[in-house]
C-alpha cells in the first residue's frame, strides 16, 4: 500500500477533505491527493471551503475540520 492510500483512508475515517500547507498556500483534496508525489513535513489535514469568485479555483483546503 502506498503512502497516499494510507493518508487517504485516515483522512476519510477522521472527517477531513484533504491536505494543506498554509505556509505556502498549497492544498489538495482527497480526490487528487498528493499530486506533488508526497506530502511535505508541514502538510496537515484540512477541510474544503468554497473559493472566492474570480479566484480561478472552485475550492480551497484549509487546516482543521470544517
pLDDT by residue, tens only, the chain of 66 residues: 888 899 999 999 999 999 999 888 889 999 999 988 877 788 999 999 998 898 888 889 999 886
DSSP code per residue over 8-66: HHHHHHTT--EEEETTTTEEEEGGG--TTSS--TT-EEEEEEEPPTTSSSSEEEEES--
The pTM of this model reads: 0.84
Amino acid at each position: 500500500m502506498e503512502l497516499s492510500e494510507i493518508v487517504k483512508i485516515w483522512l476519510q475515517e477522521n472527517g477531513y477533505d484533504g491536505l494543506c500547507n498554509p505556509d505556502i498556500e498549497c492544498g489538495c483534496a482527497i480526490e487528487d491527493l498528493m499530486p506533488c508525489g508526497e506530502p511535505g513535513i508541514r502538510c496537515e489535514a484540512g477541510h474544503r471551503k468554497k473559493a472566492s469568485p474570480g479566484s480561478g479555483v472552485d475550492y480551497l483546503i484549509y487546516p482543521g475540520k470544517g
